[in-house]
Every structure is written in C-alpha cells, then in structure tokens.
Structure 1
C-alpha cells in the first residue's frame, strides 16, 4: 500500500489539535473534506485512528503509533522537496519572502546591484505560510511577523511596530483615539486567534464556547471585506493597516498590547553566503530607519 502524504498531513493536524474544526481551519479546508480524508486513511490502514464523541476527540493506540511514525516521514518528504526546488532554481536565483505592509525593495536592490548576474525575486506571503515558504525552499530568506514556530529556522530581529484594530466605520469604537484589548473581548476575530494571543486569552466567545472556529481567510484584502461588512474585526500591524487604507474601514490603536515584531527568517541548515549578506543588508537598513533623526 502506498501511503498518501496529504492524508498523513491531515491526520497529523487533527492529532495535534484533537479537534476537527480547528484542524480544518489550520489546513484551510472544509471540515467535511477533512473528515472524509481521515475516514479514507483509516480504511486504507484498516485501523481506527480517533475516538470521537460529541465532547472530545482522542487518539486510539493505532493513532498514537501513526503520529510517532508520520512526523519523521513528513519531515523527510519536506526536506526532499526543499532540495529539489533549490536545485531547480539554480545558484543564480535568490528569492525574498515578505508579509503584507512590508517594503523589501531597498534591500533587494542593494543585493542585485552587488551581484549583477543574480536574479532577485520576491514572494508575498501570509500569516499561515510565512515560515512554510522558507522551509519548503520557495524563498531563501523571508520577512516574517512574530509569533511563528521557529523550529528549523534562524531568526534575526529587525523592527517592531504598534498593532491596531481594523473596524467598520460605524463600529462604536471607531471614533476612539485608542482602546484596550479588553474592549474587544465581546468581538469576533476574523483571523487565527493564535496570531492575537492577548485577544484569545480574554475572548468571551472562546471562554464560553459560543464561537465557531474562524473560517480560513487568507488575504488582508478579504479580511477587510469582512470587516467592512460588519462580520468582525482583525488586529493588524500599523504598516499593514495604513498600506491597505479603504474608505469603509478605520483602525484604532490598541494601547495595552505589545508591538508586532518583524524578523528575518531562513533555514538554519543552509550556509549560503548570499543569505547572510542579505540579512546584513536588511539589518543595516532597519537600523538606519529606527535611528533618531
């Protein structure tokens, strides 16, 4: 029997969350699709992997064993993919990932000027794939916004910036000069709660179990469409909020939570001198921007 790596990834997601809804949200697929894939995997392996009740999901003994074996298998497959993709790009290509609201052109231009035969590309990332593109080889180095899983990565801090709540214009808090995170306790968040742990810790809908897991929304543009329609709010770094200005959405500073931290991330197994050269270029530019006038 050939093991389907995609089904294994789905299984690991459910095993880690022990909740089909949250796992489906993390995978950006519909929950019924995920359930069908898990049932198909159980049929192929001729083993029940989860005990499911209305209250809880738990691994069976077979599921526990599969989880132990699946993680190194998936890691090996990911490593193979990274090596192949890097080889396909060749040594004369260098790709930089960046999150919305961040401008990377000054650093990429310096690198390109120093190496005229080098093709320097950029790739826009999102909250859910900003480290994945580093680990799967799509980019050589990436501007990421914390928090991220730093396993397998080298991280270099660059800068920090305030976080704001994006709200529809008619929201009761829209006219405020500043708010606290507790003001948002009764609001619905239109993004992964792990991206805003301060909200997650005080959210009424999570504490009471009355909220549904957020529907996967990949882009800032789509999030802001939902904000404008009154479906909820998002918490954004200031640069992202100002970059995506629109007339039917406003933003208000959140005064009592920490800033968003921007870092450079790259695969800690790589020793490419170009990566370290770019990191030094970007770091120097960030220091110049933050230096007192």
Structure 2
C-alpha cells in the first residue's frame, strides 16, 4: 500500500532542528518496543510527548501506523512497511553523518592525485603509503602525467594534489619539496665516457649529441637540467623522446647521451647504457608536491601536514 504525505505543517521538510527525523527515530523505537511507556523511557522523553509526535507523524503520512489498546500497541500493515523504510532511512542518515564528520577531519572523502612520470619510489611512494595507512577512509584516485599537465590539472580543479618537478612558478599553487635526487649522464656502453670510475667534468659533455624529452612537458626541470650540465652552452639536442625509458633506449641505440634522474635511471636498467656521475657541484633535480592555495579539501591538508612532519 502506498503511503502519501498529506501536506500542510507536518510535511517532511516542516519545522526546525531536524524535527522530522526525530519523529522517524521515535517511531522506530516505538516499533521495536510496541509499548509507549517503555519507548518513552528509552528515548528519555515524556510519554505524552511521544504520543503527540507519533500522531503528528500519522497525520503527516495520512494513514494510521498503530493499533492502540490498553496493553500497548501493534503496527498496522502499513506501519510495518513504514518502520522498515524508516530504519533504512536513519541508517543512511547516520552513515552520511559519519562520512561528513570524517571528511571534515580529513579522514574521508577523495584525493585526486597525480604522480609525475619521472619520479616514483623512494620518498614519493613512502609519503603516499603513510597517508593511506593513516587515512584508510580516503579514496585516492591516482593518475600519472608530466609536470605541465599536472599543473594544468591543479589549476583547472581536476586534481587536488600532484607531484611535480620544480620550479613551479604559478602563483595559484603551493609547492613543497619532497625529495632531491642526483642527475646522471646516460651514455652508450661503447662510448669513450662509459669506462672508468672518475666523475665527469662538464667540459667533457660539451657538444655531445643529446636526446631529451620535450621541454613543454616540464619547462622548469628542462631548463634546470641544461643549466647545470651545460652551464656554458654546447647542448646539442638531436632527438626527443616522450619519457625516461625511451631516452635510455635511444642512448643504447646510438651515440647520444641523456641526463636522467638517478632514481629513474637505476630503476629502468636498460641494457647497453652506462650511468656516470658528475664532479661537484653535483647536478640535482627536485620532486615536489603541489596543491591549490587556499584548498578546502581536508585530505590535501593532511597530506601536506605529513610532508611537513617529515
């Protein structure tokens, strides 16, 4: 049998302070006790007040929910159906309330996160593992991209946080350093610079044919790499590849060299490539975590706090 509200002052949205939900809670308890006195005691309200609220609920729905007698009450057929629906409604409300409280505390909700293609493992993965362990209720939606698309995703509001290669000059973003790693020179195994244990001097790489990823993928890292390894010029770009793995494969195939972050280069271990270190000052690149300034996402704030705590 369908239950149709009759309208008026007792509509579900009528009143203040969640009165309608309170009536549903009263009715559920009464449906369990089937006795006004016991239900009122359990709810810690006066019995006349409980009776008044249940009658108001019946007027609101336009159907009787109870059969009353001197010994107590019983649910009508409609009352049984309404009680079942009311239990489901209250369970959903309670669950939503818990989720909202967790969200406000940074322990719920969603974190849309982007990694950068040139940095995984180490402190990056450790930070996210720590965050997941402390915030199991947060849904982490992860993807991987270059720094420039990650920055664009943050500015557009499509991402909440992203790992990037600084510098990131956009004024609308905050960026904090997660880790710093050494830049190595990848050379073909048969190249004259592939042998020996000494570190390379910058002068030895001037005018060598080089392969690099497109600058638009991460302008800050691109420029910083060139400035540290070819500070006096002599950078001869002859080929571009989309990522570090392809850079190393290009090195293995010919007489080109490539500057690659140490973590990524050692993790890929492409045959036919040798990795060489430079003399001081050691060239380095940073990996940072960026997010929008003034973000209201508690999950981002908790992630930033974990980073700040070290």
Q: TM-score, normalised by structure 1?
A: 0.56
Which residue, 98, 115, 127 being the options, matches 2:115? Answer: 98
Structure 1 runs of 4+ off > 4 angstroms? 213-216
Deviations for 1:238-262, whole angstroms, at most 9, x for unmatched residues?
1111111122112111223432222
Alignment of 1:1-293 (within 5 A): 92-99=109-116, 100-103=118-121, 104-177=124-197, 178-191=199-212, 192=215, 194-196=223-225, 197-204=227-234, 215-230=239-254, 232-256=256-280, 257-284=282-309, 287=310
**Are 2:249 and 2:270, in contact at CA under 8 Å, matched by a contact in 1?**
no
| Cα-to-partner distance string for 1:226-248 (whole Å, 9 max, x where unaligned) | 11112522212211111111221
Q: Is the 8 A contact 2:161 2:291 kept in 1?
A: yes
Uncovered stretches (5+) of structure 2, i.e. residues with no partner: 1-107, 216-221
**Separation in 1, partners of 2:238, 2:251:** 13
Counterpart Cα distance in 2 of 1:202 and 1:275: 41
Following superposition, the deviation at residue 94 of structure 1 comes to 1.0
SS of the residue aligned with 1:106?
helix
Structure 1 stretch displaced more, 268-277 or 124-133: 124-133
Q: How far apart are the structure 2 equivalents of 1:181 and 1:233?
A: 13
CA gap of 1:281–1:203, structure 2 versus 1, over 3 A, is same
CA-based RMSD: 2.6
Instruction: Answer whether contact 1:108 1:120 (CA < 8 A) is retained.
Output: no
Give the TM-score taking structure 2 as reference length: 0.54
**What do residues 190-238 of structure 1 show as CA deviations (whole Å, max 9, x unaligned)?**
2245242234542335xxxxx5x65542211111111111252221221
Which stretch of structure 1 is more off in the superposition, 260-269 or 161-170? 260-269
Aligned length: 189
Mark the structure with the bigger radius of gyration.
2
